[in-house]
Amino acid sequence: MRIVHFSDLHVTCWPRELSAFWDKRLLGLLNFAVRRQQQFHPEYIERAVLRIRTLSPDWVILTGDLTSVGTGTEFARAGELLAPLCETHTPFELLFVPGNHDSYVRKRACREALETTFARLNRNRWRLADLPQCLELPSLRVFIADEAHPTSPWQSGGTLAASTWAKLRGWFAEPRRSGEKRLLVGHFPCRGADGTPLPRRRRLRGDDLLWNALRDGRVDVALCGHHHQPFLRCEPNGAMEICAGALTAYGKINVLDYTPLTGKFSQFWVDVSGDGRTPVALQNTAILPAAP
């Protein structure tokens, strides 16, 4: 089984509605214009979509932040860019969880655009309100959590709701089937690349609960985004947390192969960054496995 995972597209469109200039969206757009516009490369999205189709995935997982400020215009544009992955005849399945930029504000129109996009990218399996979910695959259980909720203008973190944790905890406590492995999908990392918590402003409230599940073996692999620089971190027990990083900043795609007969995972990165010949360099390259 091959899982192809990417994250954080941050598609940005200037909004049409005047109300966007009187709430958190204005700060987000100013941040993009002043700081992030030079860091993000929208052309990586088209490259990634083309490359993903050649990787012969069984599942394609997108861990949030399709948009910059969660407007309907941004969701529509993201949908256009991802359309080749959404075709009904594709030989793989799609899975999407929202990020904090997708749940940016409480505006009804923004929420409706998120919910429509969520349903489309998940092939209408669930409504957003149906999360968390447990997906049963051959020898693999996939736990899917929505951790993204609107926050104050100065915050970019998330919350593991008590009801979400109660369901996850119950699933984690169930005995494993013979040879079963467990995969957790959410937007926020439990820890950073070096194992330390993210800054308070950017972290997930409840991250300790998920980190403990990784460390004590209730979860084998956690897939996430949010932190823009990609990383793979291994816990002492062999469990992994893999952050795909921001696709439009670093151009990295995480490829995770799972062999049910052996119960083993193998991982490598596909690069679509730079000019196509010279990829974007990473500071922490030691924690990134080389591509085969």
Share of the chain above pLDDT 70, in %: 95
Q: Is residue 272 part of a domain?
A: yes
Q: What's the whole-number mean pLDDT along residues 206-228?
A: 97
| In-domain check, residue 55 | yes
Does some domain include residue 110?
Answer: yes
**pLDDT tens digits, one per residue of 5-29:** 999 999 998 777 777 777 888 887 7
In this predicted structure, the answer to whether residue 132 has a pLDDT above a threshold of 90 is yes
Rounded Cα gap, residues 133 and 146, in angstroms: 9
pLDDT confidence tier of residue 290, bands split at 50, 70 and 90: very low
Q: How far apart are CA 39 and CA 4, in angstroms?
A: 24
Question: Would 105 be classed as within a structural domain?
Answer: yes
CA-angle at 235, arms to 200 and 285, nearest 5°: 80
Report the alpha-carbon distance of residue 27 to residue 20 in Å, rounded.
10
CATH code, domain with 143: 3.60.21.10
Grade residue 285 by pLDDT with cuts at 50, 70 and 90. Answer: very low
Residue 292 lies in a domain: no
How many domains is the chain partitioned into structurally? 1
Residue 49 lies in a domain: yes
- Asked whether 29 and 14 are in contact (CB, 8 A), the reply is yes
What residue numbers bound the domain in which 193 lies?
A: 2-21+29-287
| End-to-end Cα spacing for the chain | 17
